[in-house]
Amino acid sequence: MAARGCCPSCGSAALVEDAHYAQQQLVCAACGCVLAEGLLTTTYTEEEHLREVTYSQSTGQKEQLSRCLQRGIRRVRDICKVLQLPTVFEETAVSYFQRALQHTSFHLVSLEKKELLGGCCVFVTCRQHNWPLTMGTICSLLYAKQELFASVYLSLQKELGLSVPALSLADLVKTHLNSFRLFQHAADIPAPFVEDKEKMVARTMQIVELAGETWLVTGRHPVPIVTAAAFLSWQSLQPAARLTCTFARFCKLAGVDLPPPAHLRLKELLEILLRMASKLAWLRVFNMDKKTVVKHIGDLLQHRIFLLKNAFCLEDEEEQCATALSEGSPSSPPAAGGAAQEKGHPLEGKRQREGSPRPLLPPCLINPRKRLRTAALSASDSAITGDEPISDSEIEQYLRGPEEVRAFRKAKAWQ
Protein backbone atom coordinates (compact mmCIF):
# COMPACT_ATOMS: atom_id res chain seq x y z
CA MET A 1 0.00 0.00 0.00
CA ALA A 2 1.23 3.46 -0.73
CA ALA A 3 3.13 4.94 2.16
CA ARG A 4 2.80 8.59 2.96
CA GLY A 5 5.04 11.22 4.40
CA CYS A 6 8.77 11.86 4.05
CA CYS A 7 11.67 10.18 5.66
CA PRO A 8 12.88 12.33 8.55
CA SER A 9 16.56 11.62 7.97
CA CYS A 10 16.95 11.99 4.18
CA GLY A 11 13.66 13.65 3.15
CA SER A 12 12.94 11.08 0.50
CA ALA A 13 9.30 10.36 -0.28
CA ALA A 14 10.00 6.78 -1.18
CA LEU A 15 8.62 4.99 1.85
CA VAL A 16 7.73 1.35 1.61
CA GLU A 17 6.03 -1.08 3.91
CA ASP A 18 8.27 -4.00 4.42
CA ALA A 19 8.31 -6.92 6.73
CA HIS A 20 11.33 -7.63 8.85
CA TYR A 21 10.79 -11.26 9.76
CA ALA A 22 7.20 -11.11 10.81
CA GLN A 23 7.21 -7.52 11.91
CA GLN A 24 5.79 -4.87 9.69
CA GLN A 25 8.02 -1.89 9.21
CA LEU A 26 7.81 1.40 7.38
CA VAL A 27 11.19 1.90 5.78
CA CYS A 28 12.72 4.62 3.68
CA ALA A 29 13.79 3.13 0.36
CA ALA A 30 16.55 5.66 -0.06
CA CYS A 31 18.44 5.54 3.23
CA GLY A 32 16.95 2.56 5.00
CA CYS A 33 15.79 4.45 8.02
CA VAL A 34 13.01 2.74 9.86
CA LEU A 35 10.19 5.13 10.41
CA ALA A 36 7.70 2.99 12.20
CA GLU A 37 7.52 -0.52 13.42
CA GLY A 38 4.46 -2.66 13.35
CA LEU A 39 2.61 -3.35 16.54
CA LEU A 40 2.46 -6.69 18.18
CA THR A 41 -0.98 -8.07 17.70
CA THR A 42 -2.59 -11.11 19.13
CA THR A 43 -5.25 -11.88 16.66
CA TYR A 44 -5.08 -12.19 12.94
CA THR A 45 -8.28 -10.21 12.57
CA GLU A 46 -6.76 -7.33 14.48
CA GLU A 47 -3.80 -7.33 12.17
CA GLU A 48 -5.96 -7.41 9.13
CA HIS A 49 -7.86 -4.39 10.19
CA LEU A 50 -4.58 -2.77 11.20
CA ARG A 51 -6.04 -1.84 14.50
CA GLU A 52 -3.96 -1.40 17.57
CA VAL A 53 -4.48 -4.01 20.23
CA THR A 54 -4.23 -2.37 23.59
CA TYR A 55 -1.71 -3.47 26.18
CA SER A 56 -4.28 -4.54 28.69
CA GLN A 57 -5.89 -6.84 26.15
CA SER A 58 -2.71 -8.27 24.73
CA THR A 59 -1.13 -9.07 28.05
CA GLY A 60 -4.27 -10.66 29.45
CA GLN A 61 -4.40 -8.12 32.22
CA LYS A 62 -8.17 -8.06 32.09
CA GLU A 63 -8.34 -11.82 32.13
CA GLN A 64 -6.51 -11.82 35.45
CA LEU A 65 -9.31 -9.91 37.07
CA SER A 66 -12.35 -11.93 37.92
CA ARG A 67 -15.50 -11.15 36.08
CA CYS A 68 -17.07 -9.93 39.27
CA LEU A 69 -14.26 -7.51 39.84
CA GLN A 70 -14.40 -6.32 36.26
CA ARG A 71 -18.11 -5.75 36.51
CA GLY A 72 -17.69 -3.95 39.80
CA ILE A 73 -14.99 -1.69 38.43
CA ARG A 74 -17.08 -0.88 35.42
CA ARG A 75 -19.97 0.00 37.72
CA VAL A 76 -17.77 2.25 39.83
CA ARG A 77 -16.59 4.07 36.73
CA ASP A 78 -20.15 4.46 35.53
CA ILE A 79 -21.26 5.96 38.82
CA CYS A 80 -18.38 8.42 38.68
CA LYS A 81 -19.34 9.41 35.17
CA VAL A 82 -22.98 9.92 36.12
CA LEU A 83 -21.95 12.15 39.01
CA GLN A 84 -19.51 13.97 36.73
CA LEU A 85 -16.64 13.47 39.10
CA PRO A 86 -13.04 14.28 38.16
CA THR A 87 -10.99 11.36 36.81
CA VAL A 88 -8.82 11.35 39.90
CA PHE A 89 -11.84 10.29 41.92
CA GLU A 90 -12.50 7.46 39.53
CA GLU A 91 -9.04 6.00 39.97
CA THR A 92 -9.15 6.31 43.73
CA ALA A 93 -12.57 4.73 43.95
CA VAL A 94 -11.51 1.84 41.75
CA SER A 95 -8.42 1.20 43.86
CA TYR A 96 -10.51 1.20 47.05
CA PHE A 97 -12.92 -1.19 45.46
CA GLN A 98 -10.16 -3.59 44.46
CA ARG A 99 -8.64 -3.43 47.93
CA ALA A 100 -11.97 -3.99 49.55
CA LEU A 101 -12.90 -6.99 47.45
CA GLN A 102 -9.71 -8.70 48.51
CA HIS A 103 -10.83 -8.60 52.11
CA THR A 104 -12.48 -11.75 53.33
CA SER A 105 -15.40 -9.82 54.73
CA PHE A 106 -16.33 -8.55 51.28
CA HIS A 107 -15.18 -11.38 49.12
CA LEU A 108 -18.15 -13.58 49.68
CA VAL A 109 -21.01 -11.18 50.15
CA SER A 110 -24.07 -11.09 47.96
CA LEU A 111 -24.02 -9.36 44.60
CA GLU A 112 -26.30 -6.70 45.97
CA LYS A 113 -23.75 -5.89 48.63
CA LYS A 114 -20.91 -5.90 46.12
CA GLU A 115 -22.76 -3.33 44.09
CA LEU A 116 -23.28 -1.25 47.20
CA LEU A 117 -19.60 -1.64 47.94
CA GLY A 118 -18.81 0.07 44.66
CA GLY A 119 -21.09 2.92 45.59
CA CYS A 120 -19.49 3.16 49.02
CA CYS A 121 -16.04 3.47 47.48
CA VAL A 122 -17.24 6.35 45.33
CA PHE A 123 -18.87 7.92 48.36
CA VAL A 124 -15.72 7.64 50.47
CA THR A 125 -13.61 9.10 47.68
CA CYS A 126 -15.91 12.07 47.36
CA ARG A 127 -15.93 12.72 51.05
CA GLN A 128 -12.17 12.53 51.26
CA HIS A 129 -11.92 15.20 48.61
CA ASN A 130 -14.60 17.26 50.35
CA TRP A 131 -16.97 16.73 47.47
CA PRO A 132 -20.39 17.11 49.10
CA LEU A 133 -22.13 13.90 48.17
CA THR A 134 -24.83 12.70 50.51
CA MET A 135 -25.67 9.12 51.23
CA GLY A 136 -29.17 9.77 50.02
CA THR A 137 -27.90 10.62 46.56
CA ILE A 138 -25.75 7.53 46.31
CA CYS A 139 -28.52 5.31 47.60
CA SER A 140 -30.93 6.61 45.03
CA LEU A 141 -28.35 6.04 42.30
CA LEU A 142 -27.85 2.48 43.44
CA TYR A 143 -31.50 1.85 44.22
CA ALA A 144 -30.27 0.72 47.59
CA LYS A 145 -31.84 0.56 51.01
CA GLN A 146 -30.15 3.01 53.27
CA GLU A 147 -29.70 0.56 56.16
CA LEU A 148 -27.86 -1.85 53.91
CA PHE A 149 -25.75 0.94 52.52
CA ALA A 150 -24.98 2.11 56.03
CA SER A 151 -23.78 -1.32 57.14
CA VAL A 152 -21.59 -1.78 54.06
CA TYR A 153 -20.19 1.70 54.48
CA LEU A 154 -19.31 1.22 58.12
CA SER A 155 -17.65 -2.13 57.52
CA LEU A 156 -15.72 -0.68 54.59
CA GLN A 157 -14.48 2.12 56.78
CA LYS A 158 -13.41 -0.36 59.43
CA GLU A 159 -11.77 -2.93 57.15
CA LEU A 160 -9.75 -0.51 55.09
CA GLY A 161 -9.10 1.76 58.04
CA LEU A 162 -10.22 4.80 56.11
CA SER A 163 -10.64 8.11 57.81
CA VAL A 164 -13.53 9.92 56.24
CA PRO A 165 -13.82 13.62 56.98
CA ALA A 166 -17.18 14.98 57.93
CA LEU A 167 -19.54 16.34 55.35
CA SER A 168 -18.88 20.01 54.76
CA LEU A 169 -22.17 21.79 55.20
CA ALA A 170 -21.05 24.81 53.22
CA ASP A 171 -20.42 22.70 50.15
CA LEU A 172 -23.61 20.79 50.71
CA VAL A 173 -25.57 24.04 50.63
CA LYS A 174 -24.14 24.89 47.25
CA THR A 175 -24.79 21.51 45.71
CA HIS A 176 -28.23 21.14 47.23
CA LEU A 177 -29.35 24.55 46.04
CA ASN A 178 -28.09 23.69 42.57
CA SER A 179 -31.00 21.33 42.26
CA PHE A 180 -33.56 24.00 43.12
CA ARG A 181 -35.63 25.23 40.23
CA LEU A 182 -36.32 28.69 41.50
CA PHE A 183 -33.50 30.51 39.84
CA GLN A 184 -35.00 30.77 36.42
CA HIS A 185 -38.37 31.82 35.19
CA ALA A 186 -40.68 28.99 34.31
CA ALA A 187 -44.32 28.60 33.47
CA ASP A 188 -45.39 27.15 36.80
CA ILE A 189 -43.40 29.52 38.98
CA PRO A 190 -44.97 32.89 39.77
CA ALA A 191 -42.70 35.80 38.91
CA PRO A 192 -42.10 37.05 42.46
CA PHE A 193 -40.91 33.59 43.47
CA VAL A 194 -37.91 33.54 41.22
CA GLU A 195 -34.73 34.39 43.09
CA ASP A 196 -31.13 35.20 42.38
CA LYS A 197 -29.01 32.14 43.04
CA GLU A 198 -25.98 33.89 44.52
CA LYS A 199 -28.03 35.84 47.01
CA MET A 200 -29.96 32.81 48.08
CA VAL A 201 -26.86 30.66 48.44
CA ALA A 202 -25.14 33.31 50.52
CA ARG A 203 -28.04 33.81 52.86
CA THR A 204 -28.76 30.09 53.19
CA MET A 205 -25.14 29.55 54.17
CA GLN A 206 -25.41 32.19 56.85
CA ILE A 207 -28.55 30.62 58.26
CA VAL A 208 -26.95 27.18 58.21
CA GLU A 209 -23.94 28.59 60.05
CA LEU A 210 -26.27 30.10 62.59
CA ALA A 211 -27.95 26.75 63.01
CA GLY A 212 -24.54 25.19 63.56
CA GLU A 213 -23.63 27.68 66.23
CA THR A 214 -26.90 27.15 68.06
CA TRP A 215 -26.61 23.38 68.25
CA LEU A 216 -29.28 22.61 65.67
CA VAL A 217 -26.93 20.74 63.38
CA THR A 218 -24.91 18.38 65.55
CA GLY A 219 -26.29 14.88 65.41
CA ARG A 220 -28.97 15.73 62.87
CA HIS A 221 -29.35 14.80 59.24
CA PRO A 222 -27.91 17.71 57.26
CA VAL A 223 -30.30 17.85 54.31
CA PRO A 224 -33.45 18.88 56.21
CA ILE A 225 -31.51 21.71 57.83
CA VAL A 226 -30.33 22.98 54.47
CA THR A 227 -33.84 22.74 53.06
CA ALA A 228 -35.35 24.66 55.98
CA ALA A 229 -32.61 27.27 55.79
CA ALA A 230 -33.16 27.66 52.07
CA PHE A 231 -36.85 28.23 52.65
CA LEU A 232 -36.24 30.88 55.28
CA SER A 233 -33.65 32.65 53.21
CA TRP A 234 -35.89 32.61 50.15
CA GLN A 235 -38.80 34.00 52.12
CA SER A 236 -36.71 36.71 53.71
CA LEU A 237 -35.34 37.99 50.43
CA GLN A 238 -38.81 39.10 49.31
CA PRO A 239 -41.08 38.68 52.31
CA ALA A 240 -43.99 40.65 50.95
CA ALA A 241 -44.68 38.26 48.14
CA ARG A 242 -43.48 35.05 49.73
CA LEU A 243 -44.67 34.97 53.31
CA THR A 244 -47.90 33.34 52.26
CA CYS A 245 -46.16 30.46 50.58
CA THR A 246 -45.99 27.33 52.68
CA PHE A 247 -42.94 25.17 53.09
CA ALA A 248 -44.52 22.30 51.22
CA ARG A 249 -45.44 24.49 48.31
CA PHE A 250 -41.97 25.96 48.22
CA CYS A 251 -40.40 22.53 47.93
CA LYS A 252 -42.82 21.50 45.25
CA LEU A 253 -42.09 24.59 43.19
CA ALA A 254 -38.39 24.18 43.68
CA GLY A 255 -38.60 20.58 42.59
CA VAL A 256 -37.01 19.11 45.70
CA ASP A 257 -38.20 16.65 48.31
CA LEU A 258 -39.47 17.92 51.61
CA PRO A 259 -37.86 15.62 54.15
CA PRO A 260 -40.05 15.10 57.25
CA PRO A 261 -37.59 16.49 59.83
CA ALA A 262 -37.39 19.76 57.91
CA HIS A 263 -40.55 21.06 59.57
CA LEU A 264 -39.00 20.61 63.00
CA ARG A 265 -35.78 22.24 61.87
CA LEU A 266 -37.78 25.17 60.58
CA LYS A 267 -39.52 25.51 63.90
CA GLU A 268 -36.24 25.41 65.78
CA LEU A 269 -34.65 27.96 63.49
CA LEU A 270 -37.58 30.31 63.94
CA GLU A 271 -37.36 29.96 67.70
CA ILE A 272 -33.69 30.92 67.62
CA LEU A 273 -34.41 33.87 65.35
CA LEU A 274 -37.24 35.06 67.57
CA ARG A 275 -34.98 35.03 70.59
CA MET A 276 -32.37 36.97 68.71
CA ALA A 277 -34.97 39.45 67.52
CA SER A 278 -35.99 40.15 71.09
CA LYS A 279 -32.50 41.51 71.69
CA LEU A 280 -32.34 43.79 68.69
CA ALA A 281 -33.01 47.30 69.86
CA TRP A 282 -35.25 48.46 67.05
CA LEU A 283 -37.23 45.24 66.97
CA ARG A 284 -38.04 45.04 70.62
CA VAL A 285 -41.00 47.28 70.20
CA PHE A 286 -42.65 44.89 67.82
CA ASN A 287 -44.39 41.75 68.89
CA MET A 288 -42.51 39.31 66.76
CA ASP A 289 -43.98 36.03 65.72
CA LYS A 290 -42.95 33.28 63.37
CA LYS A 291 -44.15 35.13 60.33
CA THR A 292 -42.97 38.62 61.04
CA VAL A 293 -39.50 37.68 62.15
CA VAL A 294 -38.79 36.43 58.64
CA LYS A 295 -38.86 39.98 57.38
CA HIS A 296 -35.95 40.87 59.59
CA ILE A 297 -33.73 37.88 59.00
CA GLY A 298 -31.30 40.07 57.08
CA ASP A 299 -30.72 42.30 60.08
CA LEU A 300 -30.58 39.42 62.49
CA LEU A 301 -27.93 37.69 60.43
CA GLN A 302 -25.91 40.84 60.15
CA HIS A 303 -25.71 41.24 63.91
CA ARG A 304 -25.79 37.62 64.81
CA ILE A 305 -22.63 37.52 66.89
CA PHE A 306 -23.84 40.22 69.21
CA LEU A 307 -27.36 38.84 69.34
CA LEU A 308 -26.30 35.31 70.11
CA LYS A 309 -24.22 36.47 73.00
CA ASN A 310 -27.10 38.38 74.47
CA ALA A 311 -29.98 36.11 73.70
CA PHE A 312 -28.43 32.99 75.15
CA CYS A 313 -26.25 32.38 78.09
CA LEU A 314 -23.33 30.24 77.01
CA GLU A 315 -23.08 26.75 78.28
CA ASP A 316 -19.86 27.05 80.16
CA GLU A 317 -21.42 29.78 82.19
CA GLU A 318 -24.23 27.39 83.05
CA GLU A 319 -21.82 24.83 84.35
CA GLN A 320 -19.86 27.40 86.28
CA CYS A 321 -22.96 28.58 88.01
CA ALA A 322 -23.95 25.04 88.84
CA THR A 323 -20.67 24.38 90.62
CA ALA A 324 -20.66 27.83 92.14
CA LEU A 325 -24.06 27.18 93.67
CA SER A 326 -23.12 23.81 95.08
CA GLU A 327 -19.76 24.73 96.49
CA GLY A 328 -19.79 28.46 96.97
CA SER A 329 -16.10 28.42 96.24
CA PRO A 330 -14.49 31.67 95.27
CA SER A 331 -11.54 30.07 93.59
CA SER A 332 -13.29 28.41 90.68
CA PRO A 333 -12.34 30.60 87.75
CA PRO A 334 -15.20 32.33 86.02
CA ALA A 335 -15.45 31.77 82.32
CA ALA A 336 -16.01 35.36 81.33
CA GLY A 337 -15.35 38.03 83.86
CA GLY A 338 -18.15 40.32 82.88
CA ALA A 339 -20.72 37.61 82.72
CA ALA A 340 -19.80 36.41 86.19
CA GLN A 341 -22.63 38.43 87.59
CA GLU A 342 -25.28 36.75 85.53
CA LYS A 343 -24.16 33.23 85.91
CA GLY A 344 -24.79 33.10 89.57
CA HIS A 345 -28.45 33.76 88.94
CA PRO A 346 -29.45 32.37 85.60
CA LEU A 347 -33.05 32.12 86.52
CA GLU A 348 -33.60 35.34 88.29
CA GLY A 349 -31.56 37.13 85.62
CA LYS A 350 -31.44 40.78 84.94
CA ARG A 351 -33.65 40.28 81.98
CA GLN A 352 -36.85 39.52 83.66
CA ARG A 353 -38.75 40.15 80.48
CA GLU A 354 -39.92 37.53 78.07
CA GLY A 355 -36.59 37.36 76.32
CA SER A 356 -34.66 36.13 79.34
CA PRO A 357 -31.60 34.28 78.12
CA ARG A 358 -31.95 30.59 77.91
CA PRO A 359 -28.88 28.43 77.83
CA LEU A 360 -27.43 27.73 74.42
CA LEU A 361 -27.86 24.01 74.39
CA PRO A 362 -28.86 21.33 71.90
CA PRO A 363 -32.63 20.90 71.71
CA CYS A 364 -32.41 17.44 73.22
CA LEU A 365 -31.12 18.99 76.43
CA ILE A 366 -33.63 21.80 76.49
CA ASN A 367 -36.63 19.58 75.95
CA PRO A 368 -35.52 16.33 77.48
CA ARG A 369 -37.82 13.51 76.69
CA LYS A 370 -39.16 11.91 79.81
CA ARG A 371 -37.26 8.73 79.97
CA LEU A 372 -37.38 6.08 82.60
CA ARG A 373 -33.98 6.36 84.17
CA THR A 374 -32.72 2.94 85.07
CA ALA A 375 -32.11 2.99 88.76
CA ALA A 376 -28.60 2.46 89.90
CA LEU A 377 -27.79 -0.77 91.64
CA SER A 378 -29.57 -0.86 94.93
CA ALA A 379 -27.77 -1.79 98.12
CA SER A 380 -28.99 -5.39 98.04
CA ASP A 381 -28.10 -5.78 94.38
CA SER A 382 -24.61 -4.55 94.83
CA ALA A 383 -24.00 -7.03 97.62
CA ILE A 384 -24.62 -9.99 95.33
CA THR A 385 -21.61 -12.25 95.05
CA GLY A 386 -22.99 -14.55 92.38
CA ASP A 387 -22.55 -17.58 94.58
CA GLU A 388 -25.70 -17.28 96.63
CA PRO A 389 -27.65 -20.44 97.23
CA ILE A 390 -30.66 -20.83 94.95
CA SER A 391 -33.79 -22.02 96.65
CA ASP A 392 -35.84 -24.80 95.12
CA SER A 393 -39.05 -22.90 95.49
CA GLU A 394 -37.70 -20.04 93.46
CA ILE A 395 -36.86 -22.35 90.58
CA GLU A 396 -40.08 -24.29 90.85
CA GLN A 397 -42.13 -21.18 90.27
CA TYR A 398 -40.83 -21.30 86.72
CA LEU A 399 -41.85 -24.88 86.07
CA ARG A 400 -45.22 -26.13 84.99
CA GLY A 401 -47.07 -28.72 87.01
CA PRO A 402 -48.13 -31.95 85.30
CA GLU A 403 -51.79 -30.92 84.79
CA GLU A 404 -50.66 -27.63 83.41
CA VAL A 405 -48.33 -29.43 81.01
CA ARG A 406 -51.19 -31.61 79.85
CA ALA A 407 -53.46 -28.66 79.35
CA PHE A 408 -50.76 -26.77 77.52
CA ARG A 409 -50.06 -29.75 75.30
CA LYS A 410 -53.69 -29.98 74.43
CA ALA A 411 -53.84 -26.29 73.66
CA LYS A 412 -50.75 -26.48 71.55
CA ALA A 413 -52.17 -29.40 69.64
CA TRP A 414 -54.58 -26.99 68.04
CA GLN A 415 -51.74 -25.06 66.48
Partner 1 sequence: SEDYSLLQYDDLSSSPQLFTPMSPYGVDLPIQTTEDVLFGSQFNQPKELPTDFSVDLSFLPDITQDNKEQNLSEYGHETQKELDGSISRNEDSSVFMDESSLSYLDATQPSPEASGMCPPMTPMTPMTPVTPASESSGIVPQLQNIVSTVNLACKLDLKNIALRARNAEYNPKRFAAVIMRIREPRTTALIFSSGKIVCTGAKSEEQSRLAARKYARVVQKLGFPAKFLDFKIQNMVGSCDVRFPIRLEGLVLTHPQFSSYEPELFPGLIYRMVKPRIVLLIFVSGKVVLTGAKERSEIYEAFENIYPILKAFKKAS
- Of the pair 55, 398, the CB lying nearest partner 1 is at 398
Instruction: Pick the binder of partner 1 from 331, 367, 393, 415 (CB under 8 A).
Output: 331
Q: How far is the CB of 218 from partner 1 (least distance, A)?
A: 4
Q: How far apart are CA 286 and CA 165, in angstroms?
A: 44
Does residue number 219 form part of the binding site for partner 1 (CB under 8 A)? yes
Q: What is the DSSP string of 52-87?
A: PPPHHHHTTHHHHS-HHHHHHHHHHHHHHHHTT--H
Q: How far is the CB of 197 from partner 1 (least distance, A)?
A: 25
- 214 is an interface residue for partner 1 by CB under 8 A: no
With binding defined as CB under 8 A, does residue 393 bind partner 1? no
Query: Closer CB to partner 1, residue 58 or residue 157?
Result: 157
Task: Verify binding: residue 259, partner 1, rule CB under 8 A.
Answer: no
Minimal distance, residue 46 CB to partner 1, in Å: 49
The C-alpha angle 363, 366, 369, rounded to 5 degrees, equals: 85
CB of 187 to partner 1, least distance (A): 35
Contacts of 196 (CB under 8 A, 6+ apart): 183
Assess contact for 3 and 15: CB atoms under 8 A.
yes
- For residue 134, the 8-state DSSP code is -
Task: Give burial (CB, 10 Å; 0-12/13-18/19+) of 226.
Answer: buried
Q: Which stretch binds partner 1 (CB under 8 A): 198-206, 247-255, 267-275, 382-390?
A: 382-390
Query: Cα separations (Å) of 339 from 243, 312, 345, 402?
Result: 38, 12, 11, 75
Kindly state whether residue 198 participates in binding partner 1, applying the rule CB under 8 A.
no
DSSP 226-273: HHHHHHHHHHHHSHHHHTTS-HHHHHHHHT----THHHHHHHHHHHHH
Q: Which is nearer to partner 1, 117 or 277 (CB)?
A: 117
Sites for partner 1 among residues 76-95 (CB under 8 A): none
Determine if 21 is a binding residue for partner 1 (CB under 8 A).
no
Residue 326 contacts partner 1 per CB under 8 A: yes
Measured in Å, how far apart are the chain's first and last C-alpha atoms? 88
Q: 130-169 mask for partner 1 (x: CB under 8 A)?
A: ----xxx-------------x--xx--x-----xxxxx--
CB 79 within 8 A of CB 122: yes
- Determine contact, residues 38/22, Cβ cutoff 8 Å: no
**One residue of 45, 287, 329, 393 binding partner 1 per CB under 8 A:** 329
Nearest to 69 by CA among 32, 31, 100, 30: 100
How many residues touch partner 1 (CB under 8 A)?
60
Among 240, 394, 403, 410, interactor with partner 1 by CB under 8 A: 394
Of 20-28, 174-182, 265-273, 391-399, the segment contacting partner 1 by CB under 8 A is 391-399
Nearest distance from C-beta of residue 135 to partner 1, angstroms: 5
Interacting residues with partner 1 (CB under 8 A): 134-136, 150, 153-154, 157, 163-167, 212, 215, 217-223, 315-316, 319, 323, 326-327, 329, 331-332, 361-362, 364-365, 374, 376-379, 381-388, 390, 392, 394-400, 405, 408-409, 412
